[in-house]
Amino acid sequence: MPELLAQQADFAAALRDGERTPAVARWLAGDAAVVDRRLAIYRANMVAAADKALSAAYPVVRQAVGAEFFHALAREFQRGTPSTSGDLTEFGAGLAAFLDAFEHVRSLPWLADLARLEWAVHRAYGAADAPAWDPAALAAVEPGRQAEIRFAWSPGTAVVASRFPIVRLWTIHQPAHAGEFSVAWDRAETALVGRDRL
């Protein structure tokens, strides 16, 4: 393995796991205690960045579990699913799958589906603009070719199905919600997510 790649691999491993600090210490100046303190700063910044990015993408999940638990959740998710992109808006795509397997949320079986809905909302918000609807172009299609017409979803459109009332849960956690807060837990719901204007 080329030396630079080895250094990067050791550094990344030490950032995710403090027990791996000795592996990277050979690449860094200072004794082991100094290296460990320096890496601790990086680790703390990584967790803070993960918490901030996930909080932006999953505000309702954060409200549902509380800020302190969400911070711990973000740390565990980041440790097991490090970012593979320089764009932090992409970080968190796998949170729903992580929640499906995360033993500390087994008592909240709806949480992973709520995360799926929130990720769809997050993706819709940043999706490309759709071309404007042109009814004249549709009318101009020759009658013999109308059977070939195919409509496509606008970018960012998604359907999220759940055996839980995820639409209701998402709705009552919105800042503008002024209604009552009851939830029919035995109700399955499907969300159609799309961006209107913007």
Q: What is the mean pLDDT of the chain?
A: 88
Joined together, the tokens standing for residue 43 give 């680790």
Please count the other Cβ atoms lying within 10 Å of the Cβ belonging to residue 35.
19
Stretch 100-113: mean pLDDT: 96
pTM for this model (two decimals): 0.82
**Residues in contact with 62: Cβ distance below 8 Å, sequence separation at least 6, in sequence order:** 54, 55, 70
pLDDT of res. 2? 64
| pLDDT, tens digit (0-9, with 9 covering 90-100), for 29-84 | 777 778 788 888 888 888 888 899 999 999 999 999 999 999 999 989 988 887 77
- Determine the 3-state secondary structure of 190 from DSSP: strand
Low-confidence winner among 23-27, 54-58, 79-83, 191-195 (lowest mean pLDDT)? 23-27
Joined together, the tokens standing for residue 88 give 């932090």
Cα dist from 121 to 77, 147, 187, 197, whole Å = 20, 33, 21, 14
